[in-house]
């Protein structure tokens, strides 16, 4: 059919030829349509001079881009089913579920649900499919889920042959229960340089044997090693060896402990000469960072002030366990 000059709005339901067009519409020899007046359309256009959508020869739909590629800003709906979005300095997707809690993204394999990302009570949830685990990201904790709901004592972390590597914790771990008595809040292992302190005078430690090892598990500390006296200067009275950390003050003196070890003594006060003697490391009370040494003579009695037993070269084999705060 033919129409007269288009001055405002027209609905075309037949053929249109160049003879039917007035000044507002022109068709050039390549078949393009150019409007010199206002143009309104319910079709695909951007009302400007830019390309809005491109459908390439592979039937990929490209928005704000003319070539495929994830590196180029724009969106792609590929003929193979993939959806690609690339954005500068902003999120690539906004998904908004209104009114109720539940799934925001449903993940499927061959039509069957294998997982979902959703929301519950303002928290993000990630869930596997039926009889699978999940996680809920709450304000101060990440909690386990099973079948899309809270779970308790169900979810494991790793397996015997698929282990995580390192676990960094700022506080503690509850083992075998959830009470305060089940909380392990510290593990530490290292070395320290002990001192040997007499009641008066002085005893220095040989620099080649001046380091003890310690391991702290919870509040329990074990000290091991060998220390050797070097220079002695008129030591008398009591004898103390320093500890790596301060001992605890427990109910009814429950922190008290002692261990019997061997100490080779060659000082002027050694009652039976230069031999190995039994030595008792005795923690008298809590709140101290040293242990008191008692030495036992061949008569079976302990000397509580054995500093004179120690001479240059005297050595002590340490194996002592105590509680810290």
Confirm whether 178 is domain-assigned. no
Q: Which of 9-18, 95-104, 112-121, 280-289 has the lowest mean pLDDT?
A: 9-18
Whether 196 shows a pLDDT value over 80: the answer reads: yes
Instruction: Look at residue 180 and tell me if it is in a domain.
Output: no
pLDDT at 39 over 70: no
Residues 237 and 200 reside in one and the same domain: yes
**Do 247 and 324 form a contact (C-beta atoms < 8 A)?**
yes
- Tell me, yes or no, whether 66 lies in a domain: yes
3-class DSSP assignment, residue 207: helix
Residues 154 and 251 grouped into a single domain? no
| Residue 317 and residue 195 share a domain | yes
Q: DSSP for 22-39, please give it.
A: -TTEEE-TTS-EEESS--
Task: State how far the Cα of 193 lies from the Cα of 244, in Å rounded to an integer.
Answer: 8
Q: Note whether 284 and 311 are same-domain residues.
A: yes
pLDDT at 191 over 80: yes
Considering the domain architecture, whether residues 27 and 73 belong to the same structural domain is answered as no
pLDDT higher than threshold 70 for residue 254: yes
Q: What digits encode the pLDDT tens for the residues 76-127? A: 999 999 999 999 999 999 999 999 999 999 999 999 999 999 999 999 999 9
Question: Do 247 and 122 share a structural domain?
Answer: no
Domain that holds residue 59: 49-94
Nearest to 241 by CA among 311, 192, 296, 312: 192
- pLDDT of res. 298: 83
State percent of the chain over pLDDT 90. 74
Residues 6+ apart with CB under 8 A from 285: 247, 249, 253, 255, 256
Contact yes or no for 14/20 (Cβ under 8 A): no
Whether 88 and 107 map to the same domain: the answer is no
Extract the tokens encoding 15: 């053929």
Which of 21-25, 111-115, 257-261, 297-301 bottoms out in mean pLDDT, i.e. has the lowest?
21-25
Residues 245 and 135 in one domain: no
Q: What CA–CA distance (Å, rounded) separates 103 from 118?
A: 4
Kindly report the number of other CB atoms within 10 A of residue 325's CB atom: 12
Query: For residue 245, what pLDDT band results from cuts at 50, 70 and 90?
Result: very high
Residues 160 and 69 in one domain: no
CATH number at residue 262: 2.60.90
Rounded Cα gap, residues 176 and 180, in angstroms: 11
- Whether residue 53 contacts residue 62, with contact meaning beta carbons closer than 8 Å, is answered with yes
Say if residue 11 is in the same domain as residue 86. Answer: no
* Secondary structure (3-state) at 273: coil
Same domain, 29 and 138: no
Is residue 236 in some structural domain? yes
Question: DSSP state, 247?
Answer: B
Query: Is 172 inside a domain boundary?
Result: no
My answer on whether 288 and 317 are in the same domain is: yes
Instruction: State the total domains in the chain.
Output: 4
Average pLDDT over residues 236-247: 95
> Phi-psi category of 164—alpha, beta or left, where left has phi over 0 and alpha has psi -120 to 50?
beta
23-27, 60-64, 132-136, 299-303: least confidently modelled range: 23-27
Q: What is the mean pLDDT of the segment spanning 24-47?
A: 57
pLDDT of 7: 43
Q: Per 3-state DSSP, what percentage of the chain is helix, strand, and coil (rounded to 5)?
A: 5, 45, 50
């Amino acid at each position: 059919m033919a129409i007269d000059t288009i001055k405002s709005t027209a609905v075309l339901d037949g053929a249109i030829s160049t003879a039917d067009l007035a000044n507002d519409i022109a068709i050039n020899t390549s078949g393009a349509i150019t409007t010199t007046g206002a143009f309104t359309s319910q079709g695909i256009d951007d009302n400007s001079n830019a390309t809005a959508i491109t459908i390439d020869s592979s039937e990929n739909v490209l928005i704000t881009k003319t070539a495929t590629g994830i590196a180029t800003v724009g969106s792609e709906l590929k003929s193979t089913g993939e959806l690609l979005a690339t954005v500068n300095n902003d999120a690539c997707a906004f998904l908004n579920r209104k009114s109720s809690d539940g799934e925001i993204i449903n993940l499927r394999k061959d039509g069957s649900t294998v997982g979902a990302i959703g929301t519950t009570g303002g928290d993000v949830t990630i869930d596997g499919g039926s009889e699978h685990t999940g996680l809920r990201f709450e304000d101060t904790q990440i909690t386990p889920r099973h079948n899309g709901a809270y779970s308790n004592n169900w979810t494991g972390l790793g397996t015997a042959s698929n282990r995580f590597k390192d676990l960094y914790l700022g506080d503690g771990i509850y083992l075998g229960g959830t009470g305060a008595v089940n909380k392990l809040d510290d593990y530490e292992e290292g070395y320290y340089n002990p001192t040997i302190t007499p009641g008066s005078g002085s005893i220095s430690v040989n620099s080649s044997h001046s380091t003890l090892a310690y391991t702290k598990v919870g509040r329990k500390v074990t000290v091991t090693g060998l220390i050797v006296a070097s220079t002695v200067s008129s030591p008398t009275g009591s004898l103390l060896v320093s500890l790596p950390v301060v001992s605890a003050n427990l109910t009814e003196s429950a922190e008290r402990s002692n261990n019997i070890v061997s100490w080779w003594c060659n000082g002027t006060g050694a009652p039976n000469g230069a031999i190995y003697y039994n030595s008792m490391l005795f923690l008298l009370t809590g709140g101290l960072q040293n242990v008191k040494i008692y030495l036992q003579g061949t008569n079976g009695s302990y000397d509580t002030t054995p500093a004179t037993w120690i001479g240059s070269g005297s050595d002590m084999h340490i194996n002592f366990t105590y509680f810290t705060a």
